[in-house]
Structure 1
Amino acid sequence: MTTLPAATVGAAYTDSTAWELLAELSDLGDRMPGHEGERAAAALIADALETAGCASVTETSFPIPGWWRESAALAVEHAGRQTTFDGSHELVALPGTPSGEVTGELVDVGYGLPEDFEGLDLSGCIAMASSLTPDDYGRWVHRSEKYDYAAESGAAGFLFYNHIEGALPPTGDVGRTNGPGAIPAVGLSKELGARLTRHCEASDDGGIDATLSVSARNEPATSTTVEAVLGPDTDEEVLYTAHLDAHDVGTGANDNGFGAALVVGVARVLASIDADLETRVRLVVFGAEETGLYGSYYWSHTHDLESVKCVLNVDGAGYSRNLEVYPHGADGMGEAFEEVSDAFDVPIRVEDGLRPHSDHWPFVQRGVAAGQGRSTADGSGRGWGHTHGDTFDKLDVRDLRELTVLCAAGVAKLAEADRAVAGRDPESVRDEAIEGGYDVGMRATGTWPWGDERPWPWADELS
């Protein structure tokens, strides 16, 4: 059984290297996929992995549909007055939106659930939906799903308003795998969304006139994934992953600079016990997660998955030091972290269910044992994530150090030669996705990975 020596744990609790890297990543500002900041982040992470003592450090480029923010504004007619909203605290264009100016009736569609659009003709309208999914709905309805329902219902534009007060307008991708989405789209702050909802409710027919203007640049670009290895040269390997890109409206400190820093922190811990590792560990920091999981799809379709024993992907871990692991039904993964919980006498929650919106998903859907690590957060939603408020000052070095130790201990256990970790038949994953209603949203957005749909741009050339 592989355990972390006390000296190694102690050193991890005083090591500031990963924290300093996180500050550097945050200071890059714009790490949007394909942008210069993302390339700079890849270089920083590669240097940090090499300094940690990893071998075979590489940076691999791959094609993506790039997107560059320009301007956005919303002009609203109410009570005989026109008000224009164009401040960054009020609204931001959603990555993947096309450019365009549309005028139409603004219609509030509530939560933007599938049933909210049933029989609804939004031809020529600008649809507005909340970022909230009710807790009792059974599954999370993704932003891009609401966007596609609006477009399919004939809407000419889409507004996505935050449900968390003071958290500023949310961003997030609405593009397709081969380019921009169908209609112009922006995110709104909760406060602006509440104001517009109030105006709609006060109107005679439930809508008000508005003009949405969006300018953005959509063109091919290149993203980068960084990887390195530790441990012996074995036929199998354990992947520990995160993503290095981030939305440009904040600094991407939490999402997912924290995860990228965790990879480096875990690499430094495991490098100190390199001779004790029984299976090779591959550290992978993917590019272009935020705009369609491009890095992980590209990696999983250009490597032999038979050699991947298991994957632990960390995304959404900056909220606290309370670790959660979602094994997605992979036998042995949850048990490894339960042992870590017992060994360190700290709570680690092992949760059931699917989480199909991060870099473990391309592996899960193909039967590889793959889980997501994250930390718990108070309240609903991602908090400051995907907003201007995702900044370094909201994070805590103690959280990074504790999660580094727990994740490193878990990865070391997963790398034990005699520890069985089993993936799932892809058909059972598909059936669970259908049972949970996830297929509804994935079919709506063209990302359902079973059947004729091809939710990654390299499927034809790599299949």
Structure 2
Amino acid sequence: MTTLPSETVGDAYTESTAWELLGDLADLGDRMPGHEGEAAGASLVADAFEDAGLDEVSTTPFPIPGWWRGEASLTVDRGGRSATFGGSHELVELPGTPSGTVTGSVVDMGHGLPEDFEGVDLSGCIAMASSLTPDDYDRWVHRSEKYDYAAESGAEGFLFYNHIEGALPPTGDVGHTNGPGPIPAVGLSKELGDRLVRHCDDAEADRGVEATLSVEARNEPATSANVEAVVGPDTDEEVLYTAHVDAHDVGVGANDNGFGSALVVGVGRALASIEDELETRVRLLVFGAEETGLYGSYYWSHTHDLDRVKCVVNMDGAGYSRDLEIYPHGAPEIGEAFAEVSDEFGVPIAVEDGLRPHSDHWPFAQRGVAAAQGRSTAEDSGRGWGHTHGDTLDKLDVRDLRDLTVLSAAGVAKLAEADREVAGRDPESVKEETIAEGHDVGMKATDSWPWGDDRPWPWADELQ
């Protein structure tokens, strides 16, 4: 049973390389996929891998559909008065939106659940939906799903408002695999969303609310990159520990996912200190272009032999606290390894059931590779400051990074034990579980259903 020596644990609690990298990534500002900041972030990670003493450091570029924001505004006409909202604290464009100016009645679709759109004709209207999925709903409904339901119902535009007060307008991709989405779309702050909800309620009393949504954006080809390195012996199998370096351009992406990238570097450094004890090679891998369609992980998983991947632990959403959660996605051996770490260090690590098909572990999991997501607990429902201007370094804690580095390194070292088998899954069983949990509804609505498609992977036409 592999345990981390006290020297490695102590170094993780006193060494500052990973935290300094996180600060450098945050200082880049815009790390949108395909933008200069993302490339600069990938270079910083590669340098950090070199400084950590890892082997075979490499950067692999790949093409993506790029997106750049322009100006956006929403003008609301009500009772003979008009008000225009265009401040960054009020609204932001959603990546993948096309340009356009549309005018119509604002219709509040509530939570934007599939049933909310059933039989609803939104022709000539601007649909609005909350970022919240009710806790008692059987699955999380993704932003892009709500957007596509609105478009399919005939809406001319889409407003996506935050459900967390003071957390600013949320961003997030709504683009399609072959280019931008069909209708202009923006994210709104909770405060502006609540104001429009009130106006919509008043409209039911014939007071009326009309609005004009104006969006300027640029959609054209771009390039992202994956960065990787290895530590340990040259074995037939590899354990992958991953995150993504890109972030949305409205903020600095400190938590999502600069924190994850820093974790990968910190774990790589810890494992390098016990390299002679590792029994299986560990690959430290930071993907590009996660935020706009998991392009980096799809590209890597379809350009490498997955038979060599023993398992994947992907870190995304880990900066909320030091309380680690692991979602093994039907690979109990991953959960067991982290349960042992929990016992050894005397700290809680939650091992959770269910699928989370919206991060870089998913291209592996859907093809039967044992793949887990690691994250940390958050007090509130949703992303909090994530995907907003407020995702900044000051909200993170170096002590959380240190704790999670130690726990992650200990778990990965256990997964690298030669006699610890980690079984993959039949992709058909993953498909059945995806359907059983209701995720197929949203995936089919957003053209991201990975089964029964002649393409070797989603977005293949654009990546070749």
> TM-score interval w.r.t. the shorter chain?
over 0.9
Query: Where does 1:355-370 land on structure 2 (aligned, <5 Å)?
Result: 355-370=356-371
Amino acid at match of 1:345: G
Deviation string, structure 1 residues 266-310 (Cα, Å, up to 9, x no partner): 011000001110000000000000000000000000000000000
The alignment's C-alpha RMSD in Å is 1.1
> Are residue 256 (structure 1) and residue 257 (structure 2) matched?
yes
- Tell me, in whole angstroms, the C-alpha distance in 1 between the residues paired with 2:463 and 2:256: 31
Amino acid at match of 1:184: P
> SS at 2:337's partner residue?
helix
TM-score (norm 2): 0.98
C-alpha contact 2:157 2:184 (8 A) present in aligned 1: yes
- Tell me, in whole angstroms, the C-alpha distance in 1 between the residues paired with 2:147 and 2:360: 22
- Tell me, in whole angstroms, the C-alpha distance in 1 between the residues paired with 2:91 and 2:99: 15
Query: Where does 1:112-127 land on structure 2 (aligned, <5 Å)?
Result: 112-127=112-127
Query: Where does 1:58-73 land on structure 2 (aligned, <5 Å)?
Result: 58-73=58-73
Q: Which residue of 1 aligns with 2:140?
A: 140
Q: Which residue of 1 aligns with 2:228?
A: 227
Q: Which residue of 2 aligns with 1:202?
A: 202
- Tell me, in whole angstroms, the C-alpha distance in 1 between the residues paired with 2:357 and 2:458: 14
Structure 2: any 5+ residue segments left out of the alignment?
none
Q: Which residue of 449, 458, 461 corresponds with 2:460?
A: 458
How far off its partner does 1:331 sit? 3.0
Q: Which residue of 2 aligns with 1:446?
A: 447
Q: Which residue of 2 aligns with 1:48?
A: 48
Structure 1: any 5+ residue segments left out of the alignment?
none
Q: Which residue of 2 aligns with 1:301?
A: 302
How far off its partner does 1:379 sit? 1.1
Q: Which residue of 1 aligns with 2:329?
A: 328
Q: Percent identity over the alignment?
A: 78
Q: Which residue of 2 aligns with 1:319?
A: 320
Query: Where does 1:399-438 land on structure 2 (aligned, <5 Å)?
Result: 399-438=400-439
C-alpha contact 1:106 1:207 (8 A) present in aligned 2: no
> Are residue 178 (structure 1) and residue 178 (structure 2) matched?
yes
Q: Which deviates more, 397-406 or 419-428? A: 419-428
> SS at 2:332's partner residue?
coil
C-alpha contact 1:107 1:206 (8 A) present in aligned 2: no
Q: Which residue of 1 aligns with 2:78?
A: 78
C-alpha contact 1:328 1:364 (8 A) present in aligned 2: yes
> SS at 1:358's partner residue?
coil
Q: Which residue of 2 aligns with 1:26?
A: 26
Q: 1:215 to 1:396 in 2, by over 3 A?
A: same
Q: Which residue of 2 aligns with 1:392?
A: 393
How far off its partner does 1:38 sit? 0.3
Deviation string, structure 1 residues 66-113 (Cα, Å, up to 9, x no partner): 000111000000121011000000000000000000011110010000
C-alpha contact 2:313 2:373 (8 A) present in aligned 1: yes
Q: Which residue of 2 aligns with 1:162?
A: 162
- Tell me, in whole angstroms, the C-alpha distance in 2 between the residues paired with 1:145 and 1:167: 22
C-alpha contact 1:252 1:390 (8 A) present in aligned 2: yes
Amino acid at match of 1:290: E
- Tell me, in whole angstroms, the C-alpha distance in 1 between the residues paired with 2:423 and 2:334: 8
Amino acid at match of 2:71: S
C-alpha contact 2:294 2:359 (8 A) present in aligned 1: yes
> Are residue 128 (structure 1) and residue 142 (structure 2) matched?
no
- Tell me, in whole angstroms, the C-alpha distance in 2 between the residues paired with 1:309 and 1:176: 32
Amino acid at match of 2:343: D
TM-score (norm 1): 0.98
- Tell me, in whole angstroms, the C-alpha distance in 2 between the residues paired with 1:107 and 1:57: 51
C-alpha contact 2:49 2:268 (8 A) present in aligned 1: yes
Query: Where does 1:8-19 land on structure 2 (aligned, <5 Å)?
Result: 8-19=8-19
How far off its partner does 1:237 sit? 0.2
- Tell me, in whole angstroms, the C-alpha distance in 1 between the residues paired with 2:453 and 2:362: 18
Query: Where does 1:75-114 land on structure 2 (aligned, <5 Å)?
Result: 75-114=75-114
Q: 1:459 to 1:325 in 2, by over 3 A?
A: farther
Amino acid at match of 1:107: V
Q: Which residue of 1 aligns with 2:289?
A: 288
Q: Which deviates more, 389-398 or 451-460? A: 451-460
Amino acid at match of 1:78: R
Amino acid at match of 2:446: T
Number of residue pairs the alignment of both structures matches: 462
- Tell me, in whole angstroms, the C-alpha distance in 2 between the residues paired with 1:71 and 1:238: 44
- Tell me, in whole angstroms, the C-alpha distance in 2 between the residues paired with 1:363 and 1:95: 25
How far off its partner does 1:37 sit? 0.2
> Are residue 216 (structure 1) and residue 232 (structure 2) matched?
no
Q: Which residue of 2 aligns with 1:377?
A: 378
- Tell me, in whole angstroms, the C-alpha distance in 1 between the residues paired with 2:84 and 2:289: 33
How far off its partner does 1:188 sit? 0.1
How far off its partner does 1:2 sit? 1.6
C-alpha contact 1:107 1:207 (8 A) present in aligned 2: no
Deviation string, structure 1 residues 154-193 (Cα, Å, up to 9, x no partner): 0010000000000000000000112100100000000000
How far off its partner does 1:9 sit? 0.5
